[in-house]
């Protein structure tokens, strides 16, 4: 509190004194001092380092999935490929402190011409690398490059066991091509006697594909893949109500309670534990936030830790916390959370 009162005065002094200017720059130079500085200044407790960083290697996609902002060509999210030169600087900054990097959010990673350079660099820096892919775009050479890059986990989105069911959501995708590409990766693994990447069959469950759940599990096993069910993006609007499928999917009961407060775990928690960055360096915060005009700052320009511990992200964390606790919040208008419908739904549907 006292610090807050003397801060404006200190700021004026800093503008006049070169020594104070230098101290200020030094304070914001390393993650540790950056963290302490912001804790003192904004008084929001953030875990020291996030668990992982999510950065989109591509916001361009070859499919047109109807619930995806890229597939539906939403204009508020800029489209492009992550540049290796920018990624390198980010990894140099974060790799001593953060172990996981996730390379996708709203696009197809294998369309990025520098993707293997990107993966290899993060791996050489000792990071665990994971991404999602629709795997419609791959050839033999790329499959071998992927295996040699030693990427750790690749989640392949396949929501069906036949072309008809698969393509009712994965518009423009080809089921047989995806299966062929999985086999190509498996062959490359055998050829180079390498185990990575571990392949995960990611099945987004909808009402239209629930009857194929058993079949895809068998197919995934045959292809030497792990299997994961995820709820669909549009907040469970067509989730199967039948208990049999609910049990078979392995999803917890909370996934079925509409926008419950508990989903904060998987949505707003991105602000604390797994911040999302667009390909151009703009910090978006969480995975559903796509309005780039309300980004939290550019990590390529300012540095990751300055943005992550920065004033704007801290005020978003405070806003979310206060809002969910039913406190009256007069939130800043430049943060995306102030406009988030999901957050309102979460407050209105607390976990019972
Ligand atoms: S309030 Fe909305 S925009 Fe903000 S972190 Fe939560 S889900 Fe994302």
100-157, pLDDT tens digit by residue? 999 999 999 999 999 999 999 999 999 999 999 999 999 999 999 999 999 999 999 9
**With contact defined as beta carbons under 8 Å apart, do 177 and 203 qualify?**
no
Q: Which of 177, 157, 172 is nearest to 225 (CA)?
A: 157
According to DSSP, residue 338 is labeled G
Chain centroid to Cα 112, Å, comes to 17
Q: Whose CA is nearest to atom 1 of ligand 1?
A: 337
CA distance 133 to 135: 5
User: DSSP H helical segments within the chain, as ranges?
Assistant: 2-16, 18-27, 31-42, 84-94, 115-124, 140-149, 163-169, 175-192, 213-222, 243-249, 270-273, 299-302, 304-308, 311-324, 341-348
Give, for ligand 1, the residue of 316, 334, 341, 347 to mutate: max count of ligand atoms closer than 8 Å to Cβ. 316
Q: Assess whether the C-beta atom of 290 lies below 6 angstroms from ligand 1.
A: no
Q: Assess whether the C-beta atom of 271 lies below 6 angstroms from ligand 1.
A: yes
**Locate tokens 């915060």: which residue?**
285
**With contact defined as beta carbons under 8 Å apart, do 80 and 280 qualify?**
yes
Is the pLDDT at 167 greater than 60, yes or no?
yes
Predicted confidence band at 177 (pLDDT cuts at 50, 70, 90)?
Answer: very high
pLDDT at 74: 84
Give, for ligand 1, the residue of 50, 106, 233, 268 to mutate: max count of ligand atoms closer than 8 Å to Cβ. 268
pTM of the predicted model as reported, rounded to 2 decimal places: 0.83
Q: Assess whether the C-beta atom of 82 lies below 6 angstroms from ligand 1.
A: no
Is the pLDDT at 259 greater than 50, yes or no?
no
CB-based contacts of 151: which residues, under 8 Å, 6+ apart? 119, 123, 129, 130, 131, 196, 197
């Amino acid at each position: 509190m006292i610090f807050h009162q003397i801060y404006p005065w200190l700021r004026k002094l800093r503008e006049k004194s070169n020594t104070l200017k230098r101290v200020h720059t030094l304070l914001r130079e390393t993650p540790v001092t950056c963290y302490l500085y912001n804790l003192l200044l904004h008084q929001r407790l953030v875990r020291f380092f996030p668990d992982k960083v999510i950065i989109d290697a591509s916001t361009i996609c070859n499919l047109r999935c109807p619930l995806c902002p890229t597939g539906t060509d939403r204009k508020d999210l800029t489209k492009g490929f992550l540049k290796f030169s920018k990624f390198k600087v980010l990894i140099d900054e974060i790799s001593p402190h953060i172990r996981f990097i996730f390379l996708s959010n709203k696009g197809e990673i294998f369309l990025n011409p520098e993707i293997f350079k990107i993966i290899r660099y993060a791996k050489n820096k000792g990071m665990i690398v994971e991404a999602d892919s629709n795997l419609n775009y791959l050839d033999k050479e790329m499959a071998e490059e992927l295996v040699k890059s030693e990427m750790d986990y690749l989640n392949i989105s396949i929501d069906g066991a036949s072309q008809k069911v698969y393509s009712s959501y994965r518009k423009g995708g080809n089921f047989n091509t995806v299966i062929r590409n999985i086999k190509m990766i498996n062959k490359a693994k055998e050829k180079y006697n390498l185990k990575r990447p571990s392949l995960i069959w990611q099945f987004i469950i909808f009402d239209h594909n629930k009857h194929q759940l058993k079949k895809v599990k068998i197919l995934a096993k045959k292809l030497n893949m792990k299997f994961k069910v995820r709820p669909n993006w549009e907040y469970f609007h067509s989730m199967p109500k039948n208990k049999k499928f609910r049990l078979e999917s392995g999803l917890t009961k909370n996934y079925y309670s509409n926008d419950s407060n508990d989903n904060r775990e998987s949505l707003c928690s991105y602000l604390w534990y797994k911040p999302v960055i667009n390909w151009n360096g703009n910090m978006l915060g969480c995975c559903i936030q796509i309005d780039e005009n309300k980004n939290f700052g550019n990590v390529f320009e300012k540095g990751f830790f300055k943005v992550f511990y920065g004033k704007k992200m801290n005020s978003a964390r405070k806003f979310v916390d206060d809002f969910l606790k039913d406190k009256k919040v007069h939130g800043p208008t430049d943060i995306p959370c102030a406009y988030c419908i999901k957050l309102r739904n979460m407050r209105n549907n607390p976990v019972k």
